[in-house]
Amino acid sequence: MKLNIERVFDFIKKEDFYLLDDIAALSRDMILSGECPGNDFLGWVNLPSEIQKDLINSIKIAADELKKKSKVIVVIGIGGSYLGARAVIEALSHNFNHLRKSKEREKPLVLFAGQNIGEDYIIDLLEILDDKDYSIIVISKSGTTTEPAIAFRILKNHIYFKYGKEADIRIIAVTDERNGSLRKLSDAEGYRTFIIPDDVGGRFSVLTPVGLLPIACAGFDIEELLRGAADMRKSILDNKTLETNAALQYAAVRNFLYHGGKTIEILVNYSPSLHYLSEWWKQLFGESEGKDGKGIFPASADFTTDLHSLGQLIQDGKRNIIETVLWVENSGRSITIPFDEKNFDGLNYLLNRGLNDINKMAMLGTNMAHSDGKVPLLSIEIDKINEYNLGSLIYFFEFSCAVSGLMLGVNPFNQPGVEAYKKNMLELLGKA
């Protein structure tokens, strides 16, 4: 993974930027020594290096068992108990996985529920599950979140109606070790469970069973994911200064620009399969930084698709945007422009050029245009989409998010603002 911040220096002076070295390095040290606000939620820092082999094995065994008996695995969860798994699974999956025959797929289809209360969504899902063998992974750290609780209650009805007592072994819960209704329910019903560590908050939990179990069920290599994260962790530990530490650079650039009036950051990808990585990133930064009247609004765009919708605003609208481009150098496969004798579309000049190459020219051209349009632009490049690189990106973003929040002067590990809507909704629903 390579971060490039050179273009940002068209907007800020290098010498001013490097004045942030002390505060960035101090924030890094406070996280590593456990002396920052929210320090009871720092368990994610050492997860990739400290995760026990036994735990990895039992996740793999549980995933294999579910895979054997299921064509579909429904993962129920919301926010941090949903987005990380979906980000990794969608990034690594065939773009039309759901349309492949299950034989071609070789792995069960992972579907998601409990991330909304859409009535049509759950009814459509039940219809699909009527004639498919399926299992459920229900994930909630608190064990009391309304959206997944509703989805689980409805799906539980369905799965017991379909399988009777056998449903017990088709349900796995990922939750707190001791507290919450999901823990009580799982203990009472005898469901197999995995634990979310006390000191890991939802949006930092993708490298716990919250993310690892669904990702393993989708057939992906969780050890490679952890290896990528562990190598990124090592690099962050080894590099102590802004000059050499990419996570500190990313955090510092964001903060510098934010104080100069850039209040929106758009994470842009050129590979549609990274759409949910951006969704995960939005939650990570939005919930970690958006508090006490502060915070950059994290937005995302899928290019070139959204160049035909948001492109105008980014190029020419209010100059309050930072653009962070996520580029994948190799797609792993190749398709080139074929010859067409009539050439009505005028595309013969692209004869034999690969699509990733053309996509790259789109990216470079867009970067130039947006820089000319006075949008500070950062880029992050990975060589290809695989478990290792995703693990490394995940840890990179987690660490830089924590540093960025501390530099901003907030506690990056709480989310008091999320309670307001819940309180009103439960009152309106008449909860005692």
Structure tokens of 276? 């949910």
| 380 near ligand PA5 (CB under 6 A) | no
Is residue 405 classed exposed, middle or buried when 0-12, 13-18 and 19+ CB atoms within 10 A define those classes? Answer: buried
Which residues does 254 contact at the CB level (< 8 Å), separation at least 6? 265, 296, 322, 404
**CB-nearer residue toward ligand PA5: 181 or 263:** 181
**Residue closest to ligand PA5 (Cβ):** 202
Question: 3-state DSSP call for residue 270?
Answer: coil
| 148 near ligand PA5 (CB under 6 A) | yes
| 142 near ligand PA5 (CB under 6 A) | yes
CB 59 within 8 A of CB 209: yes
Beta strand 297-302 with 264-269 is: parallel
Binds ligand PA5 by CB under 6 A, chosen from 48, 201, 290, 295: 201
Q: Give the whole-angstrom CA distance, residue 93 versus residue 112.
A: 15
In the complex, minimum distance from the CB of residue 360 to ligand PA5, in angstroms, rounded to a whole number? 35
Binds ligand PA5 by CB under 6 A, chosen from 72, 78, 230, 375: 78
**Number of helical (H) and strand (E) elements in the chain, helices listed first:** 17, 10
The stretch among 199-207, 211-219, 364-372, 400-408 that binds ligand PA5 (CB under 6 A) is 199-207
Q: Give the whole-angstrom CA distance, residue 14 versus residue 35.
A: 29
CA-based torsion, 167, 168, 169, 170: positive or negative: positive
Count of residues that interact with ligand PA5, criterion CB under 6 A: 14
Distances (CA, A) of 195 to 114, 142, 219, 222: 19, 11, 21, 17
Binds ligand PA5 by CB under 6 A, chosen from 7, 67, 183, 203: 203
| 86 near ligand PA5 (CB under 6 A) | no
Binds ligand PA5 by CB under 6 A, chosen from 70, 81, 278, 389: 81
The residue written with tokens 């009152």 in the block is 427
In the complex, minimum distance from the CB of residue 89 to ligand PA5, in angstroms, rounded to a whole number? 17
In the complex, minimum distance from the CB of residue 180 to ligand PA5, in angstroms, rounded to a whole number? 8
Site string for ligand PA5, 401-420 (x = CB under 6 A): --------------x-----
The stretch among 34-42, 68-76, 140-148, 334-342 that binds ligand PA5 (CB under 6 A) is 140-148
Residues marked active site are found at 287, 308, 422
| 140 near ligand PA5 (CB under 6 A) | yes
Q: Footprint of ligand PA5 on this chain (CB under 6 A)?
A: 78-81, 140-142, 145, 148, 201-203, 287, 415
